[in-house]
Structure 1
Amino acid sequence: MASTQVPPTTYRAYHRTSGPLPQSIELHTEPLPHQLSPHEVLIRVKAVSLNYRDVAMLNGHYPTDHENAGRPCSDCAGEVAAIGGAVKDFKVGDRASTLACAGVTAWTALRRPKEIEPDTAVLLQGTGGVSMFALLICIAANITPIISSSSDTKLSSISALSPLIKGFNYKTQPDQAAQVKQLTTGKGVDIVINNTGAASLLADLGSLRNRHGIVSLVGMLDGQKAEWDPNALMLVMKKLARIQ
């Protein structure tokens, strides 16, 4: 028997507030579109979560422009409620979920990953979500992950996941570039996933191989200030490095 359920005419949406910082989020009721454009998909959201990116926007710490009073929640999951006429890869009732934002970020920061040689190595700063996703991708792709942490207990636990994993405590061994060179027999890493921000950029460049290494700027956990001479960025040219 065909369903006689009448589709709703409104939906609930959370937006960031406007005005002075820190901001918050507030609930709005908005009209549901009566007709989708050909390539649109309407998702009935079942679950959402606040990402660190969302929190940074609310507190004025996000380093790029973003929509005023925009919608938070970088991660969500639900089911397909309706599709536009040109949509072919989904059907109504399909479960629709985004891979967690940290997973997509790690995949992109590792260049999806490609151009893998037998000695390819990656430096992961910290043990947060992006680093943990990247760690698992590295293991699957036979890439050597070098992970830093302030906790020896965490390093020990993580190292048990795979013999590929290497690590060091950045509190007791603060010279990142020296530790990376030691762990890679002097070669350096192919990619640094920078979760800390601009302050470590020179150390990141110093941790790279001498040719064609990449620093993937992901986070800002150490703030947005740096105390190094801007001329030091000439190291990018010396190493034929790339910052993305």
Structure 2
Amino acid sequence: MAPNTFKQWTLSDVNGLESLHISSATIPSIINDYDVLVNFHFASLNYRDILIAQGKNSFPLKKGVVPVSDGAGVVVSVGPKVTAFRAGDRVAPTFMRDHIAGPITPAAVLSSLGAVVDGTLREYGVYPEHSLVRIVDSLSLLEASSLPCAGVTAWTSLYGDRRMQPGDVVLTQGTSGVSLFALQLAVAAGATVIATTSSSEKIQLLKSLGATHVLNYSQDKNWGETAKSLTRDGAGVDIVVEVGGASSVRHSLKAVRMGGIISLVGHLDSSEPLDPPFNPIEVLASQATIRAIGVGNRQDFVALMRAIDASHIKPVIDKKVFRMDEAREAYQHMLDRKHLGKVVIDLRSSQQLTG
């Protein structure tokens, strides 16, 4: 039986990490016909969560929202018309609650967790049946908590309008959650991966995950051209998973083959000025497609789960797992870039069993 109250973090404002506050809330005693009550065991952070807390998120935000989109837990109870889940099932929520299939829409954006809809930085949450995905047996709850945003974004970056093929060359950047998932998924599908990093200490990790080449972009100021030179006949890479900033896109345009794809995921280097941006003429010269990636839908999440299970992929989790009362420290740890892989927060009380 669930307790009457539970702990959760809320975002009172957008003045940075001091806007995060922990409090108690009451578990709903009655849920709708198609709703599912989930006991979250773990939540994991994305760079987006920091931007939201800092007021740098360009999308709508509900005052007092429970932050964080990624998490995993166990079903406690279900509404009378729920057929897909039952008590005891292990589940994770879709990043955009109402984005079930098809292209992204304004309505889907307005259902994003941790911004407009209450997220996962809490012990209990109620979500509609259509927004949850069953976790495969090969993943622990801790590992599965890393998937809803970063994992699905990586999947969509590789399997969007032009699906990655065996033998493709994929360029990934850095060691963010999206980049590491993209590397692992590309290698599992038979692609060759060229990875970049600014840290010599991370080269071995990237190679251990299957990267054929690793470029240190802090030392190689022409890393885009270098990446292109490493491809067959110097034709360029087929897909770039672009997570950097404006100057990073310029290198990606030099690396990509004519007619290739640059999946634009984010702008991790928030300190980088956006002026001057890359020139449209550079895009025309490359004949590449630059596509913005809005994470993905529930259908994508289900496909990712199946691929991870079939390929025996294990998410890369930072060695430091934070307690629930250390959520601010977890945010700071990520902000300071002290992490390697996904930053996870353990939401369980000492009385709860591990999952």
**TM-score bracket for the superposition, by shorter chain length:** 0.7 to 0.9
1:123 aligns with 2:118: no
Equivalent in 13, 19, 40 of residue 18 of structure 1:
13
CA contact (8 A) 2:183 2:209 kept: no
Equivalent in 172, 175, 180 of residue 222 of structure 2:
175
Tell me the secondary structure at the aligned position of residue 259 of structure 2: coil
Supply the distance in 2 between the matched residues of 1:118 and 1:95 (Cα, whole angstroms). Answer: 32
Residues 8 and 229 of structure 1: CA distance in aligned 2, closer, same or farther (over 3 Å): closer
1:96 aligns with 2:95: no
CA contact (8 A) 2:42 2:73 kept: yes
Partner of 1:72: 67
CA contact (8 A) 1:48 1:76 kept: yes
- Matched to 1:29, the amino acid is S
**Unpaired stretches in structure 2, ≥5 consecutive residues:** 94-143, 293-355
1:134 aligns with 2:129: no
1:1-244 matched pairs, under 5 angstroms: 5=1, 7-18=2-13, 20-21=15-16, 23-97=18-92, 99=144, 100=146, 101-111=149-159, 115-162=163-210, 165-185=212-232, 186-223=234-271, 225-228=273-276, 232-238=279-285, 239-244=287-292
Whose helix proportion is higher, 1 or 2? 2
Supply the distance in 1 between the matched residues of 2:283 and 2:212 (Cα, whole angstroms). Answer: 27
**Unpaired stretches in structure 1, ≥5 consecutive residues:** none
CA contact (8 A) 2:12 2:64 kept: yes
Q: Whose relative contact order is higher, 1 or 2, with alpha carbons under 8 Å and at least 6 apart?
A: 2
Residues 21 and 151 of structure 1: CA distance in aligned 2, closer, same or farther (over 3 Å): closer
TM-score by length of 1: 0.83
Tell me the secondary structure at the aligned position of residue 218 of structure 2: coil
Greater displacement, 77-86 / 54-63: 54-63
Supply the distance in 2 between the matched residues of 1:68 and 1:207 (Cα, whole angstroms). Answer: 42
Residues 92 and 189 of structure 1: CA distance in aligned 2, closer, same or farther (over 3 Å): same
Residues 142 and 197 of structure 1: CA distance in aligned 2, closer, same or farther (over 3 Å): same
CA contact (8 A) 1:205 1:241 kept: no
CA contact (8 A) 1:17 1:24 kept: yes
**Deviation sequence 1:162-184 (CA, Å, 0-9, x none):** 3x621211112111321121111
Shift of 1:123: 1.1
Tell me the secondary structure at the aligned position of residue 215 of structure 1: strand
Tell me the secondary structure at the aligned position of residue 43 of structure 2: strand
CA contact (8 A) 1:15 1:26 kept: yes
Shift of 1:109: 1.9
Shift of 1:220: 1.9
How many equivalent pairs are there? Answer: 237
Shift of 1:120: 1.0
- Please say which structure displays the higher CA radius of gyration: 1
**Deviation sequence 1:80-119 (CA, Å, 0-9, x none):** 0111233222111112245313222221222269633444
